[in-house]
Amino acid sequence: MNVRAVVLLAAYIATIPAANWAVAHYGAVPVGPGLLAPAGVWMVGLALVLRDLAREAAGRAAVLAAIAAGAVLSWLLATPALAVASTAAFALSETLDFAVYEPLRRRGLLVAMAASSAVGLLADSLVFLWLAFGSLAFLPGQLVGKAWMTLLAIAVIGTIQRRRTAVAG
């Protein structure tokens, strides 16, 4: 496995317990005018994109192992309620993310990332909020916060791809 793959997998794994830690220590944060979301929203938005990049660099099996590693770390570092909510949300959202990402990958990395992240962030938000808080009150903020982070990450990746193409061409 190359260095890039290891770095992407490690970054992805780190986002899972980091999101739970942020929720436990910071509670709700503003994500837009009048919108609040649990503080882990930024890490989860990033995780959705890192998962796709890790898949490209390391393959499906490595990403599935990374999901499991992130879940284990969550159990060690988060409250039981957050760990259960996070594990269930990541399991569902990552499964749906794979289901959308894989068939769309032929149309381009950015298209696959955008579509799979959209599905993943909705599923993750619904399951996590319901299990962690018993409420969907933060749903608008969760969706906006994750979308901002996902769009930012995709924009950065698109810029890097364009620069690589310009240098190669």
Tell me the CATH number at 66. Answer: 1.10.1760
Cα-based angle 16, 127, 83 (whole degrees, multiple of 5)? 40
Count of the separate structural domains present in the chain: 1
Give 124-160 pLDDT, tens digit per residue. 999 999 999 999 999 999 999 989 988 888 888 888 8
Has residue 169 got a pLDDT over 80?
A: no
Helix (H, G, I), strand (E, B) or coil at 126: helix
Q: Region 12-18: what's the mean pLDDT? A: 88
Q: How far apart are CA 44 and CA 85, in angstroms?
A: 13
Which domain does 25 fall in, by range? 3-168
Residue type, 64: L
| Mean pLDDT of the residues in the chain | 89
Q: Region 50-67: what's the mean pLDDT? A: 89
Has residue 34 got a pLDDT over 80?
A: yes
Asked whether the beta carbons of 160 and 110 are under 8 A apart, the reply is no
Q: What is the pTM of this model?
A: 0.84
For residue 30, list its beta bridge partners.
36
Confidence label for 82 from pLDDT (cuts 50, 70 and 90)? confident
Q: How far apart are CA 79 and CA 34, in angstroms?
A: 28
